[in-house]
């Protein structure tokens, strides 16, 4: 199952809105096949693992390990549970159940009704953690929310600026900036508010990392951001939300309806504070740089205890979980 989780990690960022799943097939204590979820629209992990087995005659005497319950419904692809039954695999070990309404135990039931020996719950916590975006999306009916910002050692995210022609404060180093672009490639959407879009004129793409661009989400109640802004260029899709922008639950409900599974919130402290105070966040990724500026725009005061702290170049990265 640890190998399943390693394989599933390879698909993160390309499978949404599907989960990223890993699958391993074992015969006589030897791995004879393995696979992970293809990019959205492609084959699931179980299909790729079964197709990788050179001698299909071994399947009926094999055990299939998978990090998420096999699907039991027709979507972009046929049900994986049907395939496992048809291949007469004798035993299946599952890390965790799939909370998607069309599965949610139906895959396990289908396997057991076919006489397959099924075990559920092996490395369950690790599997739930790996697919926390998918789990949150289906259980909470909203995207998984990550708040991200960088601040100086004395707690500021920027100096005082009155115009977009005033240069923004460069806080973090190159290593941290590349990591942020990697993070962008792993999420379905990236969000900013009107003030950030107009003052910083960000592109919000993965220019510094090879990966897909997230969907850009702009909260702009009066549609004041000019169409010449970088956020409207052709490099990525942009969604503008202009209604109920102060009602974050309404905003997240709209994103859920659009099948956007996760959002990296890169706006300023006002937007971060709105999510934080409403309790509508799942992770915080906070860079603290060895820089003091004396005065400026204050960062959100995060009162939680960090889950972890890492050094990225000269910067500290503190991560938090809303649990």
Measured CA distances, 254 to 121, 150, 241, 275 (Å)? 33, 28, 9, 16
Question: What one-character DSSP code corresponds to residue 113?
Answer: H
Helix, strand, or coil here: 217? Answer: strand
Cα torsion through 43, 48, 50, 54, rounded to 10: 140
Q: In what order do the strands lie in the sheet with 238-241?
A: 238-241, 215-219, 189-193, 262-265, 144-152, 283-289, 315-321, 308-312
How far apart CA 206 and CA 218 sit, in angstroms, is 17
What separation in angstroms does the CA of 165 have from each of 149, 170, 316?
A: 21, 15, 29
46 is catalytic: yes
- CA 219 to CA 260: how far, in whole Å? 15
Query: What H or E segment, with its residue span, contains residue 219?
Result: strand 215-219
Q: Which of 46, 69, 151, 186 is catalytic?
A: 46
Distance, C-alpha 18 to centroid of its chain = 11
Task: Give phi and psi for 53, each to the nearest 5.
Answer: -75, 120
Report the first-to-last Cα separation within the chain, whole angstroms.
Answer: 26
What Å distances lie between residue 305 and 20, 172, 301, 318, CA to CA? 29, 22, 12, 9
CB contact at 8 A, 201 and 230 = yes
Q: How many CA atoms lie within 13 A of 264 on its CB side?
A: 24
Residue 205, judged by CB atoms within 10 A of its CB (0-12, 13-18, 19+), counts as buried
- Angstrom distances, CA of residue 29 to CA of 18, 104, 112: 30, 30, 23
What amino acid positions are annotated as catalytic residues? 46
């Amino acid at each position: 199952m640890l190998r399943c989780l390693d394989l599933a990690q390879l698909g993160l960022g390309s499978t949404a809105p599907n989960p990223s799943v890993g699958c391993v097939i074992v015969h006589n204590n030897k791995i004879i096949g393995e696979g992970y979820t293809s990019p959205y629209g492609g084959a699931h992990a179980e299909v790729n693992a079964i197709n990788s087995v050179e001698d299909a005659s071994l399947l009926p005497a094999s055990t299939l390990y998978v990090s998420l319950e096999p699907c039991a419904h027709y979507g972009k692809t046929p049900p994986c549970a049907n395939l496992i039954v048809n291949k007469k695999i004798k035993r299946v070990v599952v890390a965790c159940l799939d909370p998607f309404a069309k599965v949610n135990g139906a895959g396990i039931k289908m396997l057991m009704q076919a006489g397959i020996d099924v075990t559920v719950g092996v490395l369950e916590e690790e599997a739930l953690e790996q697919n926390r975006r998918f789990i949150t999306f289906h259980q909470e009916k909203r995207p998984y929310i990550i708040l991200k910002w960088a601040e100086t050692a004395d707690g500021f995210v920027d100096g005082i600026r009155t115009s977009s022609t005033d240069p923004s404060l460069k806080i973090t180093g190159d290593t941290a900036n590349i990591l942020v672009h990697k993070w962008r490639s792993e999420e379905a959407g990236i969000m900013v508010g009107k003030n950030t879009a107009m003052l910083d004129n960000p592109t919000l793409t993965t220019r510094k990392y090879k990966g897909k661009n997230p969907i850009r989400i702009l909260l702009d109640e009066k549609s004041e951001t000019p169409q010449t802004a970088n956020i409207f260029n052709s490099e990525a899709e942009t969604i503008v939300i202009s209604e109920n922008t102060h009602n974050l639950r309404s905003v997240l409900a709209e994103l859920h309806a659009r099948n956007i599974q996760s959002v990296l919130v890169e706006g300023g402290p006002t937007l971060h504070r709105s999510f934080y105070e409403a309790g509508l966040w799942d992770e915080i990724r906070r860079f603290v740089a060895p820089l003091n500026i004396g005065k400026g725009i204050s960062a959100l005061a995060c009162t939680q205890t960090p889950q972890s702290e890492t050094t990225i170049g000269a910067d500290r990265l503190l991560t938090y979980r809303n649990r």
